[in-house]
Amino acid sequence: MNWAEDDVAAHTAPVGERELADPVTNPWGTTRNTGADLHSKRPERKYPEPEPLDEHGPARIVALCNQKGGVGKTTTTINLGAAIAEYGRRVLLVDFDPQGALSVGLGRLDPRELDLTVYNLLMQRDVTVEDVLLKTDVDGLDLIPSNIDLSAAEVQLVGEVAREQMLGRALRPVINDYDVVLIDCQPSLGLLTVNALTAADGVIVPLECEFFALRGVALLMDTIQKVQERLNEDLVIDGFLGTMYDPRTLHAREVLSTIIDGFGDKVYGTVINRTVRFPDATVAGEPITRFDSTSAGANAYRDLAKEVLARWPLSGHGA
Ligand SMILES: Nc1ncnc2c1ncn2[C@@H]1O[C@H](COP(=O)(O)OP(=O)(O)OP(=O)(O)O)[C@@H](O)[C@H]1O
Ligand SMILES: [Mg+2]
């Protein structure tokens, strides 16, 4: 099977005359996509500083989703969330991965010690969202943590009535308290991720700028489409985010160029470069905007926050 045909062409704008790629024999098509034309494909655009808000809520709920592991979902949830909070928005982060990496990345060093997590919120009717909410050290940034308990939910939810709607229902009581809710999904397309997509208004898909970036994206698009058809017709793809980009390598430029060919304007102009400051910040349990506030990485997420807010539909959603 031609993966690019499957992954890109079937679900996105036409890719023109360029022969589609094959991951083994012909990864970038016959017209080698050198990425040399990146600048013309993606003219640089500056987005304004978001205006202060007089009132808060209702929140726009966004799922950070890609079933491929290690593409920057958690890093983007933490740092985009912290950057949006810097602009005076109230932000709630939902750790929806039993690995609990988001909880660790925000200073909850041992999530196993938490009494109440998103698992209890989903499975116990007497646990409310206020019971599981934690403040973080960043002003305006709250967290619903997770730990390994959540891995049982996937199986236990199967027997529930309206099993796909459990997360959305659980979050409803606090929607008016926040401007933005970001849900950090686990690397799978199972029932937990479907819950996140059902609860969400938008999806952000982080894509690591490396060889197999688009592998499996077709399956993700299929899942999103099914959720749109059956569970949540208002769901939209907010954008695709290039992560771990190394501007010095031809390879990364090629990949980014191919992503833009596939998804056009849906690709954020902001790209997150690869830097060791991100893992360092995770170890320190802080967003990069605090850990190394003036770093290029921190500023990249501020740029992304501006772009994300500027692109959202204007409907009282904290934009
Ligand atoms: N821009 C970046 N530069 C360098 N390292 C990064 C960058 N973004 C993320 N990382 C590192 O890459 C690893 C994977 O990132 P992250 O945990 O955010 O991905 P993920 O998609 O959430 O992974 P999983 O699918 O396992 O949940 C982490 O160690 C993180 O610190
Ligand atoms: Mg993660």
| pLDDT mean across residues, the chain | 88
* pLDDT above 60 for 248: yes
**Which one of 1.10.10.60, 3.40.630.10, 3.40.50.300, 3.40.190.150 gives the CATH number of domain 20-28+38-311?**
3.40.50.300
| Residue 285 zone, left/alpha/beta (φ > 0; ψ -120 to 50; rest) | left
Q: Is 216 in the pocket of ligand 1 (CB under 6 A)?
A: no
Q: Is 242 in the pocket of ligand 1 (CB under 6 A)?
A: no
In tens, the pLDDT along 158-169 reads 999 999 999 999
pLDDT at site 34:
63
Q: Is 173 in the pocket of ligand 1 (CB under 6 A)?
A: no
Q: Is 79 in the pocket of ligand 1 (CB under 6 A)?
A: no
Ligand 2 centroid, distance to 283 Cα (angstroms): 14
For residue 282, the ligand 1 atom closest to its alpha carbon is 31
pLDDT at site 314:
59
pLDDT at site 25:
41
Q: Whose CA is nearest to atom 13 of ligand 1?
A: 70
Ligand 1 centroid, distance to 145 Cα (angstroms): 18
In tens, the pLDDT along 37-89 reads 777 777 778 898 998 899 999 999 999 999 999 999 999 999 999 999 999 99
**Quick one: which ligand is closest to 271's CA?**
1
What percent of the chain is modeled with pLDDT above 70? 87
**Quick one: which ligand is closest to 187's CA?**
1
Q: Whose CA is nearest to atom 31 of ligand 1?
A: 279
* pLDDT above 80 for 282: yes
**Of 240, 278, 304, which is best to mutate to test ligand 1, by the most ligand atoms within 8 angstroms of its C-beta?**
278
pLDDT at site 3:
42
Neighbours of ion ligand 2 (CB under 5 A): 73-74, 101
- What token pair was written down for 183? 């849900």
For residue 276, the ligand 1 atom closest to its alpha carbon is 4
- What's the whole-number mean pLDDT along residues 18-34? 47
Q: Is 145 in the pocket of ligand 1 (CB under 6 A)?
A: no
Cβ atoms of residues 306 and 50 within 8 Å? yes
Q: Is 77 in the pocket of ligand 1 (CB under 6 A)?
A: no
In tens, the pLDDT along 125-148 reads 999 999 999 999 999 999 999 999
pTM: 0.90
- What's the whole-number mean pLDDT along residues 271-287? 95
d(CA 63, CA 319): 17
In tens, the pLDDT along 285-317 reads 999 999 999 999 999 999 999 999 999 875 545
Ligand 2 centroid, distance to 97 Cα (angstroms): 7
Q: Is 42 in the pocket of ligand 1 (CB under 6 A)?
A: no
Please name which of 86, 78, 184, 62 lies closest in space to residue 140, comparing C-alpha atoms. 86
pLDDT at site 110:
81
- What's the whole-number mean pLDDT along residues 246-261? 92
In tens, the pLDDT along 105-129 reads 998 878 788 899 999 999 999 999 9
pLDDT at site 45:
81
Ligand 1 centroid, distance to 244 Cα (angstroms): 8
Domain map of the chain by residue range? 20-28+38-311
The more confident residue out of 318 and 195 is 195
